[in-house]
Amino acid sequence: MPTPIACLRSSIARIGWRDSVWLAVSRLLQALPAGTGSLQRYRFVAQAVAPGSLCHGRGQSIAVAPCASPQALAGRPPRPPAVLEQRLAQSALCLAAHKGAAAPLAGWLWLLRGSCLEDEVRVRYVLASRDSSWDLDVWVDPELRGGLVFARLWEEANTLLHAQGVRWSCSRISRFNAGSLAAHARLGTVSLGTATFLRWGNWQWMLASLPPYLHLSRHAGSVPELHFNTSRLPYFPSLELTCRLLKQTAKPSIKL
DSSP, residue by residue, 158-182: HHHHHHTT--EEEEEEETT-HHHHH
Q: Are residues 156 and 44 in the same domain?
A: yes
User: H or E element: which one contains 4?
Assistant: helix 4-30
Say how many residues make up the chain: 256
The three-class DSSP label of residue 54 is: coil
- What are the strands of the beta sheet with 116-117, ordered from one edge? 116-117, 124-127, 225-228
Question: Is the previous residue joined to 252 through a cis bond, with omega within 30 degrees of 0?
Answer: no
User: H or E element: which one contains 1?
Assistant: none
Q: Are residues 22 and 143 in the same domain?
A: no
Could you list the pLDDT tens digit for every one of the 256 residues in the chain? 677 777 767 778 778 878 889 999 999 999 999 889 999 999 999 988 887 766 666 767 888 989 866 666 656 777 888 888 888 899 999 999 988 767 788 889 999 998 999 999 999 999 999 899 999 888 888 888 778 888 888 888 988 999 999 999 999 999 998 877 877 776 678 999 999 999 999 999 999 999 999 999 999 999 999 999 998 888 766 555 455 445 444 444 444 4
Q: Are residues 230 and 123 in the same domain?
A: yes
pTM: 0.83
Say how many domains are in the chain: 2
The three-class DSSP label of residue 196 is: strand
Residue 255 inside a domain? The answer is no
Contact status, residue 175 vs residue 194, Cβ threshold 8 Å: yes
Strands 124-127 and 225-228: parallel
Residue 254 inside a domain? The answer is no
Q: Are residues 154 and 62 in the same domain?
A: yes
Q: Are residues 92 and 174 in the same domain?
A: yes
Return the bridge partners of 67, or none.
94
Instruction: Indicate which CATH number applies to the domain containing 223.
Output: 3.40.630.30
Residue 256 inside a domain? The answer is no
Domain of residue 64, residue span: 32-249
Q: Are residues 104 and 91 in the same domain?
A: yes
